Structure 1
Amino acid sequence: MSREDRKAIIRTETQAIARELKSQGKILGGFVATIWVIGIIDLVLGGALNVYGIAPHHIIGLRGILFAPFLHGGLGHLIANTIPFLVLGWFVMLQETSDFFVVTAITMLVSGLGTWVFGSPNSIHVGASGLIFGYLGFLLLRGYFERNFPSILLSLVVGFLYGSTIWGVLPTRPGISWEGHLFGFIGGVIAARLLARKKLS
């Protein structure tokens, strides 16, 4: 292989990586922009949109499975969720961008249903933290299920950066949806198992 051929291959691979990173940035940016636009509108409306969150044990509350991750209980809640969503969401995409959509869908479903079944009937649950815990569960257990060096390394990095966050699955603070955290984490683990099985088959 000539030097020109090697340069052409490297250039092609670099361009492919740049396109992939650009695509990942657009996906994450689109999600975050949507969350912030809805959050600002909700602030202007005095939190009126939060009625579309998960209302446990009420049939109408099931709509929150779809809407709750895009709603927040105030500006502080929104800001607190933005950075971990971006970081962990991008980590989920690192090996394959499509993993993000699979993990997000499974986590929203499991976290939402778990919260609807086990949450207090007089509460409304909102926020992207269920997704964040789903990404955390997926990334921490991915290395165990896939048993390859990149996945194990990523699990270790995420464990180092966000491992202490796992205590959020316990009912330690009033007003925090630990049910959403717990079942979000479980949803992420389920996604890690399903995707690992698909890749190993």
Structure 2
Amino acid sequence: MANGSGVMVKLQQTFWLPLLVVAVPWGQELIDQIFFGGQWNLPMQPGGSFVGVLTAPFSHGGFGHLIGNTLWFLPLSWLVLLKSWRDYLAVWLGVYATAIPVWLLWPNGSHGLSGVVFGLLGYLLVIGFLEKRPLVLALSLFSLVSYGGLLPSLIPFFSPPGVSWIGHASGFAGGILAAGAIYREPVPGPRL
């Protein structure tokens, strides 16, 4: 993780990326509401097409669902991007990888950015403890203090009815998978 002015440069360079990503579900929801009366959803369905796994994060059950996910998605995205855009991409890939078993084995469909939100959070909580570098550890601790209140919704009986706790849990596992995949033991010697 960069320090001082490097952090600001990194934020300026990557600020737009989560905004572009979140523009996709906002566009989908606008089209859905205007032309399809809220009936055009693109969820991941059991026994459905694999395309549903890819489209599910970009489909929501109305503007309330989308606004809630957007408010968590943007800041968590920017926190991961403080590390790098590669880490951000790894979280997305991890979330998709862990969504596949849910698609194949879980009896209920799901959609929304919340799986990615939990993937970002899982990554942020784990990466600092893996790397043990002060700034990255501070990022993990900040994420735990700021977003730890989301963690109970990983447990079925703490999730409200109609909320896909399995989507949250699989996304969280995808974030942890990404952190483990990205982390490399530091090579002894001077650091640049």
2:112 is aligned to 127
1:133-144 map, 5 Å: 133-144=118-129
Q: In the alignment, is residue 171 of structure 1 matched against residue 156 of structure 2?
A: yes
Alignment counterpart, residue 135 of structure 2, candidates 150, 156, 162 = 150
Q: Is the 8 A contact 2:10 2:82 kept in 1?
A: no
2:51 is aligned to 63
What is the CA distance between 1:20 and its match in structure 2?
3.3
What is the CA distance between 1:27 and its match in structure 2?
0.7
Q: How many residues align?
A: 181
Cα distance in 2 between the residues matched to 1:17 and 1:129: 26
**Identity in percent:** 35
2:176 is aligned to 189
Query: What TM-score results when the alignment is normalised by the length of structure 2?
Result: 0.86
Q: Is the 8 A contact 2:115 2:170 kept in 1?
A: yes
Query: What TM-score results when the alignment is normalised by the length of structure 1?
Result: 0.83
Q: In the alignment, is residue 100 of structure 1 matched against residue 54 of structure 2?
A: no
1:9 is aligned to none
2:190 is aligned to none
Cα distance in 2 between the residues matched to 1:91 and 1:134: 12
Cα distance in 2 between the residues matched to 1:104 and 1:159: 20
Provide structure 1 residue ranges, at least 5 long, that are not aligned to the other structure: 1-12
Where in structure 1 do 4 or more consecutive aligned residues deviate above 6 Å?
none
Q: Secondary structure at the match of 2:162?
A: coil
Cα distance in 1 between the residues matched to 2:115 and 2:93: 12
Provide structure 2 residue ranges, at least 5 long, that are not aligned to the other structure: 188-192
Alignment counterpart, residue 85 of structure 1, candidates 73, 81, 86 = 73
Deviations 1:54-73 (A, max 9, x none): 112x042x222110000001
What is the CA distance between 1:23 and its match in structure 2?
2.7
Q: Is the 8 A contact 1:53 1:63 kept in 2?
A: no
Alignment counterpart, residue 37 of structure 1, candidates 21, 24, 27 = 27
Distance 1:169 1:24, change over 3 A: same
Cα distance in 2 between the residues matched to 1:96 and 1:78: 25
